[in-house]
């Protein structure tokens, strides 16, 4: 997308407006509780939702011991996330079901890009960047990290915000930093990680969401997966409302990516329902919704196995997710 047109419309008066916003915590918690209590689809409808979820996963590995060989396994799993025989039973074998992207550390982008190219796959490589997860490195280092990830083949960049700026109310400085990241991303899609577990209040989450969108983010993302509190339904409601309001103000649809601690098929059905309820069906596609997860796919595949065979597979029967 490059430098976005919606970014140019943002100005200081918008930032002044943001500093006055207040979010009602009780209303958010009540809404989250309501969504969690709603019925989720069963049987073939559940299987269809789970396959939809698979296509929205940024299949992730962000570990200190990542090597070219586990990146290779991750990419192969992303290309074929559900066993062919299961897809065939669901008559989905010719639908090219893949995950939305793979997500890795900047130093592993070249490994992923090389493998995907060799496999003739167009699956995007997403790289975390800007001093992930803490964002506590000098600005020039953070910018350079984005440049290097893009040069190595990342077409999606998951940046982390500077929490110090958010917690001290320096929204304009935060806007400027994110805008610089946007510039160096070039044509790569930029997802902005708010690290909501470290923002203290829902009001800060809403403000950070707005600033990130105004600075040109294609997606806003909840968490790095490394904070003590990661993706929660209540925080998602705050972010989804910000996305909705931003769309009303600008006509521009920004995507949403919950990430961190999402491990079960059951949880991901609640996430899909939350998006449907809060943002509508338009957002239920990889272009506007991603699930950032390192270990969700195994459980989804187990549930699909159960749907098709009536039995649960042992974990070691299904290839690594
Ligand atoms: O960006 C994605 C997250 O780091 C994944 O977190 P997770 O390992 O808890 O699934």
Q: What is the pLDDT of residue 1?
A: 40
Q: What predicted TM-score, i.e. pTM, was given to this entire model?
A: 0.95
pLDDT tens for each residue of 193-212: 999 999 999 999 999 999 99
pLDDT tens for each residue of 106-118: 999 999 999 999 9
Q: How many structural domains is the chain composed of? A: 1
Q: Supply the DSSP symbol for 259.
A: B
Q: What is the pLDDT of residue 321?
A: 45
The active-site residue out of 22, 30, 257, 276 is 257
Q: What is the pLDDT of residue 118?
A: 97
In 151-221, beta strands by DSSP E = 156-160, 189-193, 219-221
Q: Which of 312, 318, 308 is nearest to 43 (CA)?
A: 308
Q: What is the pLDDT of residue 284?
A: 97
Assign residue 34 the CATH number of its domain: 3.20.20.70
Ligand 1: atom nearest CA of 226 is: 4
Pairing outcome for strands 125-129 and 291-293: unpaired
Residue 250 Cα, ligand 1 centroid: separation in angstroms? 30
From CA 170, how far away is CA 174, in angstroms rounded? Answer: 6
Q: Which of 309, 299, 293 is nearest to 99 (CA)?
A: 293
Structural domain harbouring 286: 5-317
Which residue ranges of the chain lie beneath pLDDT 70?
1-13, 315, 319-321
Active site residue 39: no
The SS3 of residue 287 is coil
| ipTM of model | 0.97
Q: What is the pLDDT of residue 6?
A: 57
C-alpha distances (whole Å) from 84 to each of 38, 43, 102, 118, 319 are: 32, 20, 20, 21, 12
Active site residue 85: no
Q: What is the pLDDT of residue 12?
A: 53
């Amino acid at each position: 997308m490059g430098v976005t047109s919606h970014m140019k419309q943002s100005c200081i008066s918008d930032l002044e407006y943001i500093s006055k916003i207040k979010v009602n915590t009780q209303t958010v918690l009540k809404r989250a509780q309501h969504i969690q209590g709603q019925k989720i689809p069963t049987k073939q409808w559940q299987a269809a939702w789970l396959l939809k979820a698979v296509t929205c996963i940024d299949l992730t590995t962000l570990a200190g011991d990542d090597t070219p060989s586990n990146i290779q396994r991750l990419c192969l799993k992303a290309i074929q996330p559900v066993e062919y025989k299961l897809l065939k039973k669901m008559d989905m074998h010719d639908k090219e079901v893949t995950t939305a992207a793979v997500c890795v550390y900047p130093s592993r982008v070249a490994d992923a890009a090389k493998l995907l190219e060799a496999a003739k796959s167009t699956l995007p490589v997403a790289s975390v960047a800007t001093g992930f997860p803490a964002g506590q490195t000098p600005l020039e280092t953070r910018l350079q990290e984005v440049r290097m990830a893009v040069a190595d083949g990342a077409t999606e960049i998951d940046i982390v915000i500077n929490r110090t700026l958010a917690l001290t109310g320096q929204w304009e400085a935060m806007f400027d930093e994110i805008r610089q990241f946007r510039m160096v991303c070039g044509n790569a899609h930029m997802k902005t990680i708010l690290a909501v577990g470290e923002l203290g209040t829902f009001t800060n989450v809403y403000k950070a969401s707005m600033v990130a969108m105004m600075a040109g983010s294609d997606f806003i993302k909840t968490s790095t997966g490394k904070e003590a509190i990661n993706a929660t339904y209540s925080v998602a409601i705050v972010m989804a409302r910000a996305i909705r309001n931003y769309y009303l103000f600008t006509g521009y649809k920004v995507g949403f990516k919950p990430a961190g601690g999402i491990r079960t098929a059951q949880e991901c059905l609640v996430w899909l329902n939350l998006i449907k309820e809060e943002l509508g069906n338009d957002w239920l596609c990889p272009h506007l919704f991603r699930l950032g997860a390192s270990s969700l796919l195994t459980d989804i595949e187990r549930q699909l196995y159960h749907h098709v065979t009536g039995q649960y597979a042992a974990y070691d029967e299904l290839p690594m997710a």
